[in-house]
Structure 1
Amino acid sequence: MQSGDSPPPAGGPWLLRPQRWPPRTAPALAPPPWPPAGSDGPPLLLLIDRRDPDVRALLTPLGDLLQAGERQRLHRLRGEGDGERFLLGRGALRLILGSWLGCDPAGLVLGAGPHGKPELLPPSDGGEPPPRFNVSHSGDLILLGFHPRRPVGVDVEQGRPVPEWESIARRCLPPGEWSAIGTLPQQQREQAFLAAWCRLEAGLKARGMGLFGPPPTPGDPEPEVWPLVLPEGYVGAAALASAAEATAVTSPRGPLPRAPQGPRG
């Protein structure tokens, strides 16, 4: 468990609390310690809040790490906050991975899976595989997840009205899960749906599977999924593919298409 984790709810999984980044007790651009290779613990989770003055002070230095294609993508983003979220997430990702790998963050080559998920290619000499990672953002939060061995998925959602939650849940969630949400008091259902959506997306991203892609093979091991402790107004989840899938999950089966007017991460 990570430092600061909350005790598990009765009958439920442990809650993970992401670490604030940048930390208040270290230099602004200092990377967090990397877990030892072969660790079977939960993912390392970092949370960036773009409202934080320490974060806003990093917009320029992190933006300087972006490559030409990333800068072009940044300039195409027009939604409110989209550019800052992308800059902070990609810049922090470059800084942290470059520091861990001992290379220039601005020169780090980030490839992409068949459906656009950023990834580092394994070394051609058969050396130590690169860290696995994933990024999600919503509202003012950017969530990064890392693991030395196992594919990781993260998802964060800002609380908001989702009037069509039931139709989305019936299409995407297991029957027992959406029916359980329907038994909650009316004012709790949309938040509970968003939390379930985060768990679903994090697990699918960890396994490299699309929301409407081929279903998993019967008997496939399930990913480990953790709900997260986040600032008020947000819900999130992190997941790791099983150890058995760590070498098998090399390319996503499909993107994560959203239902019309559904949650956005």
Structure 2
Amino acid sequence: MSLLCLLANQRELESGMALPATWLSATEQARWATFSTEARRQSFLAGRWLARQTVRRWASASGISGRGRNGLLPNLPPDELPALEVAASGACQIAGSRGVFVSISHHGHHVACAVADVPVGVDIEGPRARRRDYLALAETVHSPSQQHALAALTPAQREHGFLQAWTLKEAWLKARQRGLDFALMRSLEFDADGGQGGMVDVAAAVHGDVVVALAADPALPSVIEAEPLLQWRRYGTRRLRVG
């Protein structure tokens, strides 16, 4: 099992991007056409362009570029970009792939993409221009114990505390092709290094002013390849019984 996560600056991606008409698939072009703002269209393009670079890097590092491996990927010549599509769920998927998974996330000018041979999710979040009430937000998406832990932090610490738990939960949902589900999010708690069960399926790291989280189903690989190099803290997800 292998996992590659790349983080990039949207402006830098745009400067090296080929004309979208030459590489967007039909389903991607259809999705792109639905966005009403130029900012959203550019964000979509940056994510899809980074996804192609990440898949190609992952395939090369895994030794399957140009020949496929057990049908996981269609033949991928080193000088060609992989074909990507928009899945029915809206997620990114590789055309013709039977076992390689892609996840994309955006925050401001930051773009993140993760590729693995197990279902994977990535989420990236950071400060917002408008001040937010993290204790009120936590009532919607965090468990009671997580809310108490957040309240015990200083106001300056709460932003990071909230964002780390949020990104872990959203990455966990993405790895399972689930949309935002606040009730389910409230039931998720995280034990450092897997807790008593020892199963590690999520990890978080800090990159500048943003928090990056990864999740894999059923578990993360022992090594996470990332660029830039990040210090990951690993957790095991525990679901609380609700009701």
TM > 0.5 fold call: yes
Amino acid of the structure 2 residue aligned with 1:84: Q
Structure 1 residues 109 and 240: CA distance shift in structure 2, 3 A: closer
Structure 1 residues 46 and 63: CA distance shift in structure 2, 3 A: farther
Between structures 1 and 2, the one with greater strand share? 2
| 3-state SS, counterpart of residue 193 of structure 1 | helix
2:123–2:171 contact (8 Å) kept in structure 1 = yes
- Residue of 107, 110, 113 corresponding to 2:85: 110
1:121–1:130 contact (8 Å) kept in structure 2 = no
Percent identity, please: 27
- The residue number in structure 1 matching 2:206 is 229
CA distance in 2, matches of 1:86, 1:210: 18
CA distance in 1, matches of 2:123, 2:182: 19
1:223–1:239 contact (8 Å) kept in structure 2 = no
Report deviation, 1:155: 0.4
- Residue of 14, 23, 28 corresponding to 1:56: 14
1:65–1:94 contact (8 Å) kept in structure 2 = no
1:203–1:223 contact (8 Å) kept in structure 2 = no
- Residue of 67, 78, 82 corresponding to 2:25: 67
TM-score, length-scaled by structure 2: 0.65
Report deviation, 1:92: 2.9
- The residue number in structure 2 matching 1:198 is 167
What are the within-5 Å matches in structure 2 for residues 69-218 of structure 1? 69-79=27-37, 81-97=39-55, 100=65, 101=73, 102-103=75-76, 108=83, 110-113=85-88, 115-120=89-94, 129-148=98-117, 150-160=118-128, 161-212=130-181, 215=184
When the two structures are aligned, how many residues end up with a matched partner?
191
- The residue number in structure 2 matching 1:256 is none
2:114–2:120 contact (8 Å) kept in structure 1 = yes
What are the within-5 Å matches in structure 2 for residues 28-43 of structure 1? 39=1, 43=3
Structure 1 residues 121 and 83: CA distance shift in structure 2, 3 A: closer
CA distance in 1, matches of 2:25, 2:95: 17
Report deviation, 1:49: 0.7
Unaligned runs of 5+ in 1: 1-38, 124-128, 244-265
CA distance in 2, matches of 1:80, 1:235: 26
TM-score, length-scaled by structure 1: 0.60
CA distance in 2, matches of 1:120, 1:223: 26
CA distance in 2, matches of 1:176, 1:182: 10
1:207–1:241 contact (8 Å) kept in structure 2 = yes
Report deviation, 1:237: 0.6
CA distance in 1, matches of 2:132, 2:84: 41
Structure 1 residues 60 and 109: CA distance shift in structure 2, 3 A: closer
- Residue of 41, 45, 58 corresponding to 2:5: 45
| 3-state SS, counterpart of residue 51 of structure 1 | helix
Amino acid of the structure 2 residue aligned with 1:163: R
2:164–2:211 contact (8 Å) kept in structure 1 = yes
Q: Deviations over 1:107-149 (max 9, x none)?
A: 8252514x322234776xxxxx33111111110111001112x
1:202–1:238 contact (8 Å) kept in structure 2 = yes
CA distance in 2, matches of 1:214, 1:165: 17
CA RMSD of aligned residues (A): 3.2
